[in-house]
Amino acid sequence: MWRTGWRRWARVRGRRVTVGALWAELEQAGGNGSGRDLEWLLASHLGCARLELTVRRAQEVGPRLAARIRAGAGRLAAGEPLAYVLGTAAFRDLELRVDRRVLIPRPETEQLVDLVLADAARWARPGGRLVEVGTGSGCIALALAVARPAADIWAVDCSRRALALARRNAAAYPGARLTFQANDLLRGFPAGHWDAVVANLPYISSAEYAALPFSVRGYEPRRALESGPTGLELIARCVRQAARQLRPAGGLYLEIGADQGAAVTALLNHAGFERVRCLRDWADRDRFVLGVQTAVGPLGQENVTHA
Ligand SMILES: C[S@@+](CC[C@H](N)C(=O)[O-])C[C@H]1O[C@@H](n2cnc3c(N)ncnc32)[C@H](O)[C@@H]1O
């Protein structure tokens, strides 16, 4: 009985199938493996635009490709994010490889890159140096390096596995110059070393982490998300280090949780930063805090070279 059922299943699975039939089969299976994500999955495997799928309904798909699409749809149905299933994510005009070693870049982080690029005179001049702390896939540092190929840009992360993927992403953009380093935040770098410090660090508290949906908590790396009991631990430590390590008039650019605007603004003010601003994202939520090192720096460094 079991053997007969298996033979019939193998016969059905071994056949060529039209895109329309496969699409309907997977839609019917339902759950997370249907809808918009399923369309992206089909389009990606067929090498076409998502909106082109309807005109491809009659196209035939061989059994091997159909099996790969079914496997991807199965992963979506289990709750895995589309970016991990496809193995790629778009960030600005970059196409990045992503897997479970790194956080999937979020759209609001593209705005952080815009803010840092708008201030490029501060760090992209000859002799200037920028560091991205907690680079993950490398999305921020790489987007900056592609936009400013002559700049001296560093990318650090405590995860060697994430750095391996970030290096691979950077290798796909040979014009971009990046220095990668495994490090605990900015520990060990000298005072007055950077013209800009940029970070999208984990900002979720342990309680918030426990309440995250399975599609996030079950797949994305915990240490890319959770900061500690309050959610502010890593940001606070990075602010203190940046206050020591930024050159006079250097810039600090942070992405934060929507409920952390007041607290992170206070951290920067307390550390002696000037012109501290909290900015909102496209969804009108507090998302970024920016500050400028004093003109003489906390250690009385002088020779201000830029405003
Ligand atoms: C929220 S993810 C951001 C990844 C990427 N920059 C982005 O915007 O998509 C935070 C990153 O910080 C790294 N991280 C966590 N704790 C760190 C630490 N103490 N020192 C350096 N990096 C850390 C994680 O490994 C993770 O890659």
- pLDDT digits 0-9 by tens, 7-63: 555 555 668 999 999 999 999 887 665 689 999 999 999 999 999 999 999 999 999
Pocket of ligand 1 (CB under 6 A): 102-103, 105, 109, 133-137, 139-140, 156-159, 162, 184-185, 200-202, 223-224, 234
CA distance 156 to 260: 23
Same domain, 270 and 172: yes
Q: How far apart are CA 114 and CA 112, in angstroms?
A: 5
Name the pLDDT band for 305 (thresholds 50, 70, 90). very low
Distance 183 CA to ligand 1 centre (A): 11
- Kindly report, residue by residue over 232-246, the tens digit of the pLDDT: 999 999 999 999 999
Q: Find the range with the poorest average confidence among 181-185, 245-249, 298-302.
A: 298-302
- For the CA of 102, the closest atom of ligand 1 is 27
Last residue of one domain, picked from the residues 22, 44, 79: 79
Are 41 and 115 in the same domain? no
Same domain (yes/no): 131, 276: yes
- How many structural domains compose the chain? 2
Average pLDDT, the chain: 92
Given its phi and psi angles, is residue 86 left (phi above 0), alpha (psi -120 to 50 degrees) or beta? alpha
**Co-location of 29 and 151 in the same domain:** no
Domain for residue 219, yes or no? yes
Give ∠ CA 24-85-34 in degrees, rounded to 5. Answer: 25
Q: Name the residue with tokens 């005072």.
A: 191
Which residues constitute the domain of residue 175?
Answer: 102-292
Token digits of residue 301 = 């460094």
Residues 123, 188 within the same domain: yes
With respect to residue 84, please indicate whether it lies within any of the assigned structural domains: no
Last residue of a domain, one of 25, 45, 79: 79
Same domain, 176 and 51: no
User: Residue 233 maps to which CATH number?
Assistant: 3.40.50.150
> Nearest residue CA, atom 8 of ligand 1?
200
303 assigned to some structural domain: no
pTM: 0.91
Residue 305 in any domain: the answer is: no
What's the gap in Å between 248 CA and the centre of ligand 1? 26
**Are 57 and 125 in the same domain?**
no
For residue 185, the CA-to-ligand 1 centroid distance in Å is: 9
pLDDT confidence of residue 1: 40
* Low-confidence winner among 2-16, 88-102, 194-208 (lowest mean pLDDT): 2-16
In a domain, 297, yes or no: no
72 and 112 inside one domain = no
**Pocket-testing residue among 99, 186, 201, ligand 1, by greatest number of atoms within 8 A of Cβ:** 201
Q: Cα angle vertex 170, ends 168, 172, to 5°?
A: 80
